[in-house]
Amino acid sequence: MQLCDKLDLVRLLLQLCISNVHVRLSALLTWTSEWLRGRTGQSKLTPKDQSRATTAGQRGPHRVQVTTPRSVNYHFTRQCNYKCGFCFHTAKTSFVLPIEEAKRGLQLLKQAGMEKINFSGGEPFLHQRGVFLGEMVRYCKQELELPSVSIVSNGSMIKESWFQQYGDYLDILAISCDSFDEETNRAIGRTQGRKSHLDNLYKVRNWCRMYKVAFKINSVINTFNVHEDMIEHIASLNPVRWKVFQCLLIEGENAGGNSLREAEKFVISDQEFQDFLDRHRSIECLVPESNQKMRDSYLILDEYMRFLDCRAGRKDPSKSILDVGVEEAIKFSGFDEKMFLKRGGKYIWSKADMKLDW
């Protein structure tokens, strides 16, 4: 082969290589543009594309199914005035986001599909004596127009004036009560000084009736109350739901070397928990939650707005939704939507739809 023929062959091969690289780069740039458009929002998608993204999940490079955060539990503070021995969200920090940052995160969640927000702690009424909490409740109902806004509290710091100012914006208030015996509550740690936890419970129940807020009770079943008969008291209080939890161990919170609680002495067996449920099966509003149901059926945000994955028996945090967005952070939440539905996580949660006899 002559030298000129060899040069022509080299030129041809180089042209083919350059053409192939150009095609691959063009395809890569097209894919990247589409993926980034999906990551930064829905505004450039057609209505048809938006519907497809909602039902099938926007597909990133690994075709990950996107979880919609319909119901979110935001533990915005870890501080509490009680010292419940089995607490699994303890006062490991005193951090609380500035309210404008918290509102920004709540708006991101609404844009991602959130329908219900539950504020918890710690004790959520402790920070700024409930003003911070009240303003977030108002924002979620008035500005974000969420169907359901709820709170879980121990009830000890709630004042009637709070209901007067914020009650219209709240759908459900859950009060934690593990026993209807004051001595048992003291043994558990659900008390502060000489205040009566049960007096507060009934007082808050009456305020809920006055200010048209659905009333709910949460109880953690443990070694101190597993044999207690609560039927008469629950029937008298008549909550819309009575959530009954099996005492749960979480490494780093109430178990293990770095924990602030030692909850091993509170743990009951699955059979003991089932026996308690059987004895209270006449209570129609009872909603049981075993350890299995609790671990992966909640979307939990901590004080930094990070999702917490509890599947391994500890709380493994995602990156904050304020930094990476909801879609990215929720991939590391460990959330099982099927278990969420199985435990009755989706229910009539707007007080406007409950048709309660106030």
Q: What integer pLDDT is reported at residue 36 of this predicted model?
A: 39
Token pair 């671990």 is found at: 295
* Biggest alpha carbon–alpha carbon distance for the chain: 105
Alpha-carbon distance of 133 to 102, in angstroms, equals 11
Is the backbone peptide bond immediately before 122 cis, with ω within 30 degrees of 0? yes
Measuring CA to CA, which residue among 168, 262, 252, 249 is closest to residue 208?
168
Report the DSSP beta bridge partners of residue 217. 175, 242
Q: What integer pLDDT is reported at residue 16 of this predicted model?
A: 41
Q: What integer pLDDT is reported at residue 343 of this predicted model?
A: 87
Q: Is 33 in a helix, a strand, or coil? A: helix
Q: What integer pLDDT is reported at residue 8 of this predicted model?
A: 52
Alpha-carbon distance of 294 to 279, in angstroms, equals 21
Report the DSSP beta bridge partners of residue 317. 308
Measuring CA to CA, which residue among 296, 250, 302 is closest to residue 74?
302
Output the CA torsion sign for 138, 356, 129, 154.
Answer: negative
Residue 314: phi, psi to the nearest 5?
-145, 175
Q: What is the pTM of this model?
A: 0.81
Q: At what angle do helices 131-138 and 99-111 cross, to 10 degrees?
A: 30
Alpha-carbon distance of 130 to 143, in angstroms, equals 19
Q: What integer pLDDT is reported at residue 20 of this predicted model?
A: 47
Alpha-carbon distance of 284 to 214, in angstroms, equals 16
Measuring CA to CA, which residue among 349, 309, 341, 303 is closest to residue 322?
303
What residue ranges define each of the domains in the chain, with the CATH number in brackets?
A: 71-352 (3.20.20.70)
**Enclosing H/E stretch for 215:** strand 214-221
Query: Which residues have a catalytic role annotated?
Result: 80, 84, 87
Rounded mean pLDDT for each run of 10 residues along the chain, 358 residues in total: 49 47 42 37 36 34 69 98 95 97 98 98 98 98 98 98 98 98 96 92 98 98 98 97 97 94 97 98 96 88 97 95 98 92 89 82
